[in-house]
Chain A
Amino acid sequence: MKDTKAIGRMTMVGIAIVIIIIAGVAGYYTGYNSGNDVGYNTGYDTGYDAAMNVTRLKETLVMGTTDSVESCLDPTRAYDFFGWEIIQSLGCGLVEYKAGATGSIDDIVPSLATSWSVSDDGLVWTFNLRQGVHYDDGTEFNATHVKYTFDRGIGIADEDGAFVGIGYGGIINNVTVTSTYAVKFYLKIPFAAFLSLLACQASFIVDPAHAPMPTNMSDPVSRSNAVIVYTEGNARSSHPMGLGPYKLMNWTRTAGKDYQIRLEANPNYWNASGGYPKTKKMIIKFYADSTGLALAIQALEIDIAFRQLGATDINNMKTNTNLKVWGGTGASIQYLVFQEKYAPFNNTQIRQAVGAAVNRTTIVDTVFLGQAQKLYSMIPIGMFGHTDAFLTLGDPNYTKTRELLAGLGFNETHKLSFKLWYETSGHYPQSPQQAQVMKSSLEASGVISVTLDSADWPSFRTHRRNEDMEAYILGWYPDYIDPDDYIQPFVDSSGGSWIHHNYNNSEMDKLIAWARGNTTAAARSSLYSQIQNLIVEDCPMIPTYQGSAYAVTTLKIKGVYLDITESWRHWLLYAEE
């Protein structure tokens, strides 16, 4: 006899399971629509817009990156690529570089300043400010905010930040408010690159309501506390900016690294009437490494992938019909540094010999698969003043290497041997590969023997400071777009002290000071030419390559500009529906 109770129970269980499944599926699809941030669009609207010649743009775009904000989003301390990238979307400077800039002075266009002039002696810069621009709380932007920003930056003098790193304090004497919408900068030295300096993110104007001045300027702790850092759960308190194309809606860091950033259009942006930002919402997601990022863009999970994709991945994606690879000039360079405090590199001839044995072709072709350019000067290609000075040394010229070294007693049986150091934290792209290729090309001369050694980035810096590395590989990203930013921080006795390579040439210092102070293009050009030739003569460092910038996007994305400013303009990106 059947157990009716059992059947009844089983039926109830069965019905319950079916109900749960149906609810689950329904919930899934409801969640799909609400969980996604994609805007909802009817066919009627698209048709209407097409008829009226209005192309609807996607409301939200997702970008993936392996970067992360290193310290914070306060211009007084932020000095990393990604920190500057976000600051640029949240804030504005007096001037900016237009998209597609080549680094010439003509590429600088008004931003928060509408016009400017400079005195004949180059020491006084006057700026007329844009009117009718407002902060979040309704305060109108005016000259006092400019003064506040620079007083604060120079006053806080955060040792990790750009104000100290670039040396604002040594350039700007004071900032004076002459009227509500006019401000004057009094400089200590004539500085030709001043406009470029104002266009860089460290000079962006802050919102005093969110950027406190230190209570006691002479107390380092008080100054440090005035720097705005990440606040969990409160995006607005996590940055001091406010006049940019976007507002920071969400910034989530997990375990000290960025997890998610959400940007939304700022209606108060001075160029909002021009339709900027083109995409109202920008989501940035963070991947641990290039493989994760590459897999994500290939799976079309994100719309844009920028920094850092490996050379192999980029090559691979060029043949991918679902993706578009954007390439452009970069302004990042890499170079080999010699420690001149002791042998062997206290000898100029040895430095020249090694410099002549560098094979840039293998570096560019093998390590970067052609996605870089051979560099023969510390000033990048495409920048005003660049000359291919190092070509005279050879690329490579093993005969010269052997000659120079033979004169000092080095030959096949008695090779010049030294240690080459590289960093292992991924601070520069593919450092281990570069080092291996470098070693191989130097040893191909037959008279050099190289041992490789490495350290993680913080230890690498310690070694640099302790001056115990004979030769090491470093890189550089532009702070401001001017040849001065590629010369003074390297070969000037005081400007280059952070490299600790003990290179001092008073003649060089003089040339640098003239070049940065002189405002005539012709004069500067000739001076930089002399400087580059002097660098080849003295050989304190050997430029190797200049990286190209790459971004990969899905097919619909437009508005990607990869120019010499190496700045990623979120507000120009868009995709049509």
Chain B
Amino acid sequence: MLILIRGSGCEVSWVDKPKVKKSMLSSLIPGLSSLSQRGLAGWLVVLGFIMVASIVMVTAISPWIAPYNPSQINVGKPLLSPNSQFLFGTNDLGQDVFSRVLSGGGIMLEVSILSVIICLLIGVPLGLFSSYAGGLVDRFFCLIMDSVYAFPGLVLAIAIAAMLGRGVINMAISIAVVYVPSYFRVIRSQVLSIKEMPYVEAAKAAGAKGRTVLSRYIFPNVVPSIVVVATVNFADAILTAAGLTFIGLGVSVDIPDWGWDLTNGRRLLASGTWWVIAYPGLMIILLALGFTLIGEGLSEMANPRLRE
């Protein structure tokens, strides 16, 4: 994906070396105003953040602002094209597409948040431990992670989701399994370079235990890259969740879901009923795009390239 340049095996490297601890954190903490001072990169993050935040907010307050109950059938005649009463038209069951669009982000957000949490819980400790320990342990985990990483992600996610069955948690697990290697690799590359830094050596010479070194010195430096990978994880999770639903591994039809609307709306394509697909699809794009922009902007801020 993003910026990882592949060598052979596990020797990945960033384009630039990471900066030292303090300036890294302070470059991320300040408010949006200083973000925008950082040129295009900053604007990307701001824009992405606004997109994601607004979608999350709208989904959260949708029970109050949706004009109709999104699951109620026959609120209007089926297959009405967008008009004044139904902003986005109605689908084949007479449900209001606009209300469904407002409330349909829930499943996607749940799945992606869950998958990110799982990845963080598994990938981060594993990456830290493996790269710090080095030696055979490191080579072992590296091999496993490489194998999973090399595997076509969607195929693996589909296979796992097919075996586990439908449901939000199962989808999150299958996405997480595919994504853990990315976290692992990013963290590993960071840790490998930080491990050699003088201040870490100094700390070790002063008698600091491994745990302390990891938590006090290495981990904070790794955080920015984790954040970047997490945002990309979010974006990919949303697209993968949509893909899994399209194949039929999604959730029950009771709950409004953009992915389900896309799948269902496909039947109506040949008769020219474009609105059932267009709007939910647009929302998925906006949500995934939002996260991607955040990730792009952050990574460019952390590793500025092509500064002329």
Binding site for B on A (CB under 8 A): 289-291, 294-295, 298, 310-313, 315-316, 362, 366-367, 369, 424-425, 432-433, 435-437, 439-440, 451-454, 456, 459
Tell me which of B48-56, B72-80, B133-141, B176-184 binds A: B72-80
14 contacts between A and B (CB under 8 A): A310-B270, A312-B92, A312-B267, A313-B271, A366-B73, A366-B74, A366-B78, A367-B93, A436-B73, A439-B254, A440-B72, A440-B74, A451-B254, A453-B252
A290 pairs with B267, CB closer than 8 A: yes
Most buried by B among A298, A425, A433: A433
B252 pairs with A454, CB closer than 8 A: yes
Residues of A within 8 A of B253 (CB): 432, 435-436, 452, 454
A452 pairs with B252, CB closer than 8 A: yes
A435 to B264, CA, bound (A): 14
Q: How far, in Å, is B280 (CB) from chain A's closest CB?
A: 16
Residues of A within 8 A of B73 (CB): 362, 366, 436-437, 440
A367 to B264, CA, bound (A): 13
A291 pairs with B93, CB closer than 8 A: no
Residues of chain B in range 41-97 having any CB-CB distance to chain A below 8 Å: 71-74, 78-79, 92-94
B270 pairs with A294, CB closer than 8 A: yes
**Quick check: is B273 within 8 A (CB to CB) of the other chain?**
yes
CB-nearest residue of chain B to A450: B254
A291 pairs with B269, CB closer than 8 A: yes
**Quick check: is B266 within 8 A (CB to CB) of the other chain?**
yes
Residues of chain B in range 160-176 having any CB-CB distance to chain A below 8 Å: 165-166
Residues of A within 8 A of B125 (CB): none
Residues of A within 8 A of B79 (CB): 312
Q: How far, in Å, is B248 (CB) from chain A's closest CB?
A: 6
Q: How far, in Å, is A505 (CB) from chain B's closest CB?
A: 34
B74 pairs with A316, CB closer than 8 A: no
A313 to B266, CA, bound (A): 11
Task: List 13 additional contacts besides A291-B267, A454-B252; criterion CB under 8 Å.
Answer: A291-B266, A295-B270, A312-B273, A362-B74, A366-B73, A366-B74, A366-B94, A424-B248, A432-B253, A436-B253, A437-B93, A451-B254, A452-B252
CB-nearest residue of chain A to B162: A456
Most buried by A among B93, B94, B269, B271: B271
Binding site for A on B (CB under 8 A): 71-74, 78-79, 92-94, 165-166, 248, 252-254, 264, 266-273
B268 pairs with A310, CB closer than 8 A: yes
Q: Given A366-B73, A437-B93, does the pair A432, B264 have CB atoms closer than 8 Å?
A: yes
A310 to B264, CA, bound (A): 11
Q: How far, in Å, is B298 (CB) from chain A's closest CB?
A: 39
A316 pairs with B271, CB closer than 8 A: yes
B74 pairs with A456, CB closer than 8 A: no
A437 to B71, CA, bound (A): 10
A92 to B242, CA, bound (A): 48
The 8 A-B pairs with the shortest beta carbon distances in the complex, nearest first, are: A294-B270, A316-B271, A310-B267, A432-B253, A312-B271, A291-B269, A295-B270, A440-B73
Residues of B within 8 A of A367 (CB): 93
Q: How far, in Å, is A100 (CB) from chain B's closest CB?
A: 30
CB-nearest residue of chain B to A292: B270
Most buried by A among B73, B79, B166: B73
B270 pairs with A298, CB closer than 8 A: yes
CB-nearest residue of chain B to A317: B271
Residues of B within 8 A of A435 (CB): 253
Q: Given A310-B267, A366-B73, does the pair A433, B252 have CB atoms closer than 8 Å?
A: no
CB-nearest residue of chain B to A422: B253
CB-nearest residue of chain B to A310: B267
A291 pairs with B270, CB closer than 8 A: yes
Residues of B within 8 A of A313 (CB): 267, 270-271
Residues of A within 8 A of B92 (CB): 311-312, 366, 433
Interchain CB contact (< 8 A) of A436 among B78, B93, B165: B93
A290 to B266, CA, bound (A): 9
Residues of A within 8 A of B248 (CB): 424-425, 456
A362 to B73, CA, bound (A): 10
Residues of B within 8 A of A453 (CB): 252
CB-nearest residue of chain B to A298: B270
Q: How far, in Å, is A423 (CB) from chain B's closest CB?
A: 11
Residues of A within 8 A of B273 (CB): 312
A425 to B162, CA, bound (A): 13
Residues of B within 8 A of A432 (CB): 253, 264
Q: How far, in Å, is A552 (CB) from chain B's closest CB?
A: 11
A452 pairs with B254, CB closer than 8 A: yes
Q: Given A440-B73, A452-B253, does the pair A316, B78 have CB atoms closer than 8 Å?
A: no
Residues of A within 8 A of B254 (CB): 436, 439, 451-452
Q: How far, in Å, is A368 (CB) from chain B's closest CB?
A: 10
Residues of A within 8 A of B267 (CB): 289-291, 310, 312-313
Q: How far, in Å, is A525 (CB) from chain B's closest CB?
A: 39
Q: How far, in Å, is A465 (CB) from chain B's closest CB?
A: 17
Residues of A within 8 A of B272 (CB): 316
Residues of B within 8 A of A362 (CB): 73-74
Q: How far, in Å, is A413 (CB) from chain B's closest CB?
A: 21
A367 to B94, CA, bound (A): 10
A442 to B166, CA, bound (A): 25
CB-nearest residue of chain A to B92: A312
Residues of A within 8 A of B268 (CB): 310, 312
